[in-house]
């Protein structure tokens, strides 16, 4: 396509003139070294021949851009599950926004299974497997790292892993053992490898995976999270690394000092953006070294909440390139009595640009 050739050509000029836009610490990764050679070969070919640049030139272009959308807690048992069984899609109002993105990510705040027994804890959520086609329709990956995925025991969690695999719906932050749970989900779009890591640090800790048993990834041992972030780039050849944390105190409007400090540590280790959830309310956003931290997205699909704060969530939209997050903004969702989200475009919420030192406010319909 002609426009594609022009983009590649401009990308080549920019690359040759300025080099890759990725910071030196990133480009030093051996994972990116092999991409440079075909790019230069393509430049050579461009100078000697009138033939179009071969497609192999594309992957390292700084013109590459991928859009990613994150939603908060998605609980598809109880009332949302009943709606799905009745043939009503609870995500329908946000479908246009979700579909406008290359990658659509959420936190699955329940277990999807038929087996297992409810644990002795205040709230336990188990969704019928009939929710999977609806989740698959709207999401490309779901975090399993939360305080409800183990509500019906290890067997039910393992059943969920099988069901999601059969449905072609990838999860992250959970697996058949600790190694799987801590491994990033790599989703590739437009030549960019996006690594998603999921962690929970809200008890019960019995949900955690160990060497031989299935479960979730725990973020209490910060060193392991830091190592996972480093390994995502070093071993899994990720261009972009985004940890999605299930953390914080419920219904607190501001992030704790612990969240603020740990988010910065993750960015120091190489995270391009930090996304959080669990408190059932939004908790503001920060910028650190030009990279966004959205502490809590709040609820997205979740019944039984009544206050304005707990029925208000953010949907996070981000544009990323090879060098990191270029721009981002949140969209406000208001949950109705069934826990179903509806866009509230007239309400301002955080947004920002790459390299900015402060968070702005944006509003408007998705
Ligand atoms: Zn939670």
**pLDDT tens readout for residues 124-182:** 999 999 999 999 999 999 999 999 999 999 999 999 999 999 999 999 999 999 999 99
- Contact (Cβ atoms closer than 8 angstroms) between residue 75 and residue 317: no
Kindly give the distance from the C-alpha atom of residue 198 to the centroid of ligand 1, in angstroms, as a whole number.
13
Query: Quick one: pLDDT at residue 207?
Result: 97
Q: Cα(326) to centroid of ligand 1, in Å?
A: 29
Whether residue 10 has pLDDT greater than 60: no
Residue 21 has a pLDDT of: 28
**Considering only CA atoms, which of 38, 34, 33 is closest in space to residue 58?**
38
Ligand 1 centroid from CA 22, angstroms: 35
Pairing of strands 174-175, 215-216: antiparallel
Q: What is the pLDDT of residues 12-35, one digit of tens each?
A: 222 222 222 232 222 223 333 233
Percent of the chain with pLDDT over 70: 83
Domain extents in the chain: 2-57, 66-362
Mean pLDDT of the chain, nearest integer: 86
pTM: 0.84
Short-list 255, 264, 316, CA closest to 291: 264
- Integer Cα distance of 211 and 228 in angstroms: 16
**pLDDT tens-digit profile of 251-278?**
999 999 999 999 999 999 999 999 999 9
Give me ligand 1 centre to Cα 64, in Å: 34
Please give the structure tokens belonging to residue 323. Answer: 């060098």
pLDDT, residue 221, reads 83
Per-residue pLDDT at 62: 74
> Which chain residues have CB less than 5 Å from ligand 1, an ion?
146-147, 278
Yes or no: say if 296 and 330 are a contact pair by the CB < 8 Å rule: no
pLDDT for 63 equals 87
Amino acid 364: pLDDT: 82
CATH-assigned architecture of domain 66-362? 4-Layer Sandwich (3.60)
* Centre of ligand 1 from the C-alpha of residue 277, in Å: 7
Please give the pLDDT value at position 66: 98
Using pLDDT thresholds of 50, 70 and 90, give the confidence band for residue 366. low
Instruction: Judge whether residue 360 has pLDDT over 50.
Output: yes
């Amino acid at each position: 396509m002609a426009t594609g050739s022009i983009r590649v050509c401009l990308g080549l000029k920019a690359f040759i003139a300025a080099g890759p836009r990725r910071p030196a610490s990133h480009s030093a990764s051996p994972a990116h070294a092999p991409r440079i050679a075909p790019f230069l070969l393509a430049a050579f070919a461009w100078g000697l021949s009138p033939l179009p640049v071969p497609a192999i030139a594309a992957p390292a272009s700084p013109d590459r851009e991928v859009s990613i959308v994150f939603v908060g807690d998605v609980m598809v048992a109880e009332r949302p599950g009943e709606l799905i069984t009745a043939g009503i899609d609870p995500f329908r109002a946000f479908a246009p926004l979700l579909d406008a993105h290359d990658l659509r990510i959420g936190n699955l705040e329940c277990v999807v299974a038929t087996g297992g027994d409810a644990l002795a804890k205040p709230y336990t959520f188990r969704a019928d497997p009939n929710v999977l086609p609806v989740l698959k329709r709207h999401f490309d990956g779901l975090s399993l790292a939360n305080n409800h995925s183990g509500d019906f025991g290890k067997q039910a969690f393992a059943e969920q892993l099988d069901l999601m695999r059969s449905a072609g719906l990838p999860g992250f932050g959970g697996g058949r053992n600790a190694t799987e749970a801590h491994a990033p989900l790599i989703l590739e779009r437009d030549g960019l490898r996006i690594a998603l890591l999921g962690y929970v640090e809200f008890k019960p800790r019995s949900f955690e995976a160990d060497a031989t048993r299935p479960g979730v990834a725990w973020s209490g041992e910060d060193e392991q999270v830091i190592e996972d972030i480093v390994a995502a780039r070093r071993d899994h050849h990720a261009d972009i690394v985004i940890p999605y944390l299930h953390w914080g105190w419920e219904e607190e409007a501001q992030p704790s000092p612990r969240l603020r400090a740990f988010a910065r540590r993750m960015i120091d280790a190489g995270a391009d953006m930090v996304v959080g959830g669990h408190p059932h309310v939004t908790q503001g956003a920060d910028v650190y070294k030009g990279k966004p931290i959205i502490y809590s997205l709040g609820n997205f699909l979740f019944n039984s909440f009544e206050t304005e704060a707990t029925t208000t969530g953010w949907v996070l939209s981000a544009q990323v390139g090879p060098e990191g997050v270029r721009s981002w903004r949140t969209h406000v969702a208001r949950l109705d009595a069934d826990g179903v989200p509806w866009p509230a475009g007239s309400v301002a919420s955080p947004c920002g640009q790459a390299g900015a030192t402060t968070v702005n406010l944006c509003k408007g319909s998705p």
